[in-house]
Amino acid sequence: MSGSTLLIELGCEELPYRFCEAVLRQLGADGAEAGLAEKLLAEARLLPEGFTRDGLRVLVSPRRIAVLVRGVPERQEPETRRFRGPRVAAAFGPDGAPTKAGEGFARSRGVAVADLGRETADGVEFVIAEVDAPRATALEVLPTIVVRLIGSIQVPRGMRWGRRPPGTEEYLRFSRPLRWIVAKLGEATVRAPFYDLEIGDVSQGHRVLGAPVTVDDPERYEAALKEAAVIADHDERRRLIVAGLDATAREAGGVWSDPGDVLAEAVYLAEWPSVAAGTFAERHLRLPRAVLVTAMQSHQRYFPVERGDGALLPVFLYVSNGDPQAAAAVTHGNERVLDGRLADAEFAYDRDLAEGLPSMAGRLGTVVFHEKLGSLADKAHRLGGLVAGLAAGVEARGDAGLRLESWPACGGGEATAGSTKDGAPETALASDLRRAAVLAKADLVSQVVIEFPSLQGAMGEIYARAAGETEAVGRAVGEQYLPLSASAPVPTTMAGGLLAVAEKADNIAGAWAAGEKPSGSRDPYGLRRAAMGIVRIALGFELRFPVRGLLCSAFDQYEVQGAVELDDATRAAALDETQAFVLERLQALLLDEGLPFAVVEAALGADAGDLPALAARARAFAALAGRGILDVVVVAYDRCASLAGKTGAAGARPPDPALFSGEAERVLAAKLAEVTPAVREALDRLEIEVALAAAAPLRAAVDRYFDDVLVMDPDEKIRENRLAQLEAVTGLLGRIGALDRLPTSEEGR
């Protein structure tokens, strides 16, 4: 590939690591799609023919964003532009001579009349002019590209600094102040003013160990920076850091761990990384592992070191961006900081143990959960009602999960402690869940969680064990906030999963009740994550509770508490919205699995209220796409559905056999009665293919029905009865899914 290598470097104050990661994506560092630099160069016709993304590199470090592009031509690539003019009849007279319109068009495009071409569009012939676009030099175009690149980078929370230059309408905003800009095309330097900076060829080395660097050739850019103590390539910095962590941990007699993903941040905290080890007093090892790790990682960005058996060593590793010769002094300072934090943590931990988790639960009434929704004690009480609803009427199904046929408490207040709705004694699961709900929020008033908020739940489990609570209660308290993200691990225990579902349902209902539901990209309470958590837990444990029932019970708890008062219309609207909100997350999850949109829509339109049932349908429809068994049932559904909804009265009553006047009506009725039990039983077991096979015999009866029966009979009673019969067929098949949204093959029809 001919051409020169282009370098654009934006030098900044130290950038936040999240922004560094975002810039990599925006500039197309992963190569999956065109980034900002590629798009701008393509628009400016400065990408050579045959360009591939292997020729573009993006390098991001704490103080610089750099783009290297190989093969950039010295002059813009040729381009022929095509302009349509007036109709031929207007451009030329009957004798073929050009008219004023024709001459004016040719003159405006800089071509001779004789060079005008012709094209036909929608049956009308027009004159056209083909003009070679001007080809400016790359050095003339690149200043504009640099400026546009800076302005195109999306900055969530930009800063402004310095003085606004005369004639500009807005301040420049960027993640951090820009301090220098380098632009080189081969050995040539792009020079232009930009605010109070001058685009040129002078970069900066390491803030402490380096010096200014004059870039003479983009091909030597990385080497020149390395001489000034800067590793520009983020991947290379990561490799060096990991190698340093491995070696230093081995020297300390263990292996390093990174549960908080500190490594991702460390890569963008150091331009000249080195790894060193520090130690802390062994007495601190009596603290729970979660406290030790959090103290090291969330505050100081250290890496814990553990033995082969997983036990922590009194050692930590850290990544430095300073002079390696000063490592001893830096390590001493880090050790003092960590020792102070761990000493504070020990004091808080001992105080918490002395008070005990039940006593902490007694203080929740003094802590506001939400000004409109009450205290943390109210929250715990609502969770108790919700988990009672989850546990009441639940049938154990071995290791496969739980099945909740209905929601006993929905619309009827809260369940009674100590017994199920029919008065039978509570199961062990229900008892554990009630106790876990009482203690769920207690650790929020603990000294350790006040110091380390990310340990909510984890400390509750530790304190529950210390207080002698059952294993199930402790695990449920510890797992109530899981999953922490859309892809993070879900709870591992049934009790933890059910309490986590209750926690998330309460938050969703509370936001709607308080008038603070998410809108657009605004979701301050993380409710989309909560809804996805409900979906993932339900699918993971095969929890077949009705989504609407869960949310109805969540609103019930707020009404019983007296926090809100909902009339029927408001309650119905809130239930519709929150149910759709949860199902949107299921839709997103299924689409992320690669299932076609039509398949997912057909599944979500099924007459089924629980999440595993809907997911099973979507996956089955995708697996069976194009197969005859699915097509047969879809066509039967489509033929009946096309007429079944033509009257509101048809679905209000079953068809009356006494009004049947032909054999086809009786055959369809008999076949529907025959297949219904098998279809429903298969759907109940989530055996979707079996349900389709059971429903398939309806196709022949439906075809005969439409061949022999005039559905829209002039007699109103007969017409309504026939529509009711079709409604009964669509009612059964609609339990499988909204089949009219599925395409069918020609063979199936």
Quick one: pLDDT at residue 388? 87
Residue 251's pLDDT is what?
96
pLDDT tens digits for 167-199?
A: 777 778 899 999 999 999 999 999 999 988 999
For residues 621-632, give the mean pLDDT.
Answer: 88
- The β-bridge partners of 374 are 370
pLDDT for residue 423? 55
- Mean residue pLDDT of the chain comes to 90
Q: Is the pLDDT of residue 205 over 90?
A: yes
When pLDDT is averaged across residues 217-241 and rounded to a whole number, the result is 96
* pLDDT for 397: 47
pLDDT tens digits, one per residue of 120-157: 888 899 999 988 888 899 999 999 999 999 999 999 88
pLDDT value for 134: 87
Sign of CA dihedral 294, 298, 299, 303: positive
Which CA distances in Å does 382 have to 386, 412, 497, 509? 6, 14, 17, 11
Q: What gap in Å lies between CA 721 and CA 160, rounded to an integer?
A: 73
Provide the pLDDT for residue 524.
85
Tell me, what DSSP letter sits at residue 47?
S
Which long-range contacts (C-beta less than 8 Å, at least 24 apart) are formed by 97-104? Answer: 102/127
What proportion of the chain, given as a percentage, has pLDDT over 70?
93
Confidence (pLDDT) at 749: 56
CA-to-CA dists, residue 116 to 19, 57, 101, angstroms: 52, 44, 13
- Band of the pLDDT at 165, cuts 50, 70, 90? confident
- How many other C-beta atoms are found inside a 10 Å radius of the C-beta of residue 20? 21
pLDDT at 399: 42
Confidence of residue 651 (pLDDT cuts 50, 70, 90): very low
Least confident residue range of 21-30, 205-214, 332-341: 21-30
- Mean pLDDT (whole number) for 380-400: 72
Percent share of the chain, pLDDT over 90: 72
Give the model confidence (pLDDT) of 521-566 as tens digits.
788 899 999 999 999 999 999 998 899 999 999 999 999 999 888 8
How does residue 395 score in pLDDT terms, banded at 50, 70 and 90? Answer: very low
Q: Which of 199, 197, 326 is nearest to 274 (CA)?
A: 326
The per-residue DSSP string of 378-399 comes to HHHHHHHHHHHHHHTTEEE-TT
pLDDT per position as a tens digit, 106-115: 999 889 988 8
How high is the pLDDT of residue 404?
A: 60
* Cα(497)–Cα(540) distance, integer angstroms: 9
- The verdict on pTM exceeding 0.75 is yes
Contact between residue 440 and residue 419 where contact means Cβ atoms under 8 Å apart: no
**Looking at the chain, which residues constitute the CATH 1.10.730.10 domain(s)?**
603-741
CA distances in angstroms from 657 to 530, 673, 700, 707, 720, listed in the order given: 50, 12, 20, 19, 12
Residue 419 scores a pLDDT above 80? no
**Please, are residues 497 and 537 in contact by the beta-carbon 8 Å criterion?**
yes
Q: What is the pLDDT of residue 609?
A: 81
Q: Residue 415 above 60 pLDDT?
A: no
Q: Any idea which residue has 């429809």 for tokens?
A: 621
Is residue 554 within 8 Å of 531, Cβ to Cβ? Answer: no
pLDDT at 34: 86
36-40: average pLDDT: 92
CA Rg, the chain, in Å? 35
Bridge partners of 82?
130
Q: Describe the crossing of helices 494-513 and 471-479 by its angle, rounded to 10 degrees.
A: 40
Q: What is the pLDDT of residue 195?
A: 87
Asked: is 603-741 a CATH 3.20.20.110 domain? The reply is no
Q: Read out DSSP for 420-474?
A: -TTSPBPPHHHHHHHHHHHHTTGGGGSHHHHH-GGGTTHHHHHHHHHTT--HHHH
Q: What is the C-alpha separation between 728 and 734, in angstroms, rounded? A: 10
Using pLDDT thresholds of 50, 70 and 90, give the confidence band for residue 463: very high
pLDDT in tens, 570-608: 999 999 999 999 999 999 999 999 999 999 999 999 987
pLDDT tier, 406 (very low <50, low <70, confident <90, very high otherwise): low
Looking at the DSSP bridge assignments, the partners of residue 174 are 159
Cis, bond preceding 86 (omega within 30 deg of 0) = no
- Residue listed under structure tokens 């190698």: 243
Span 686-704, mean pLDDT? 94
Beta-ladder partners of 193:
198
Burial class (CB in 10 A: 0-12, 13-18, 19+), 412: middle
Report pLDDT for 418.
Answer: 40
What confidence tens digit (pLDDT) does each residue in 74-92 have?
998 888 889 999 999 898 9
Main-chain phi, psi angles of 442, to 5 degrees: -65, -35
Closest among 610, 615, 493, 488 to 543, alpha carbons compared = 610
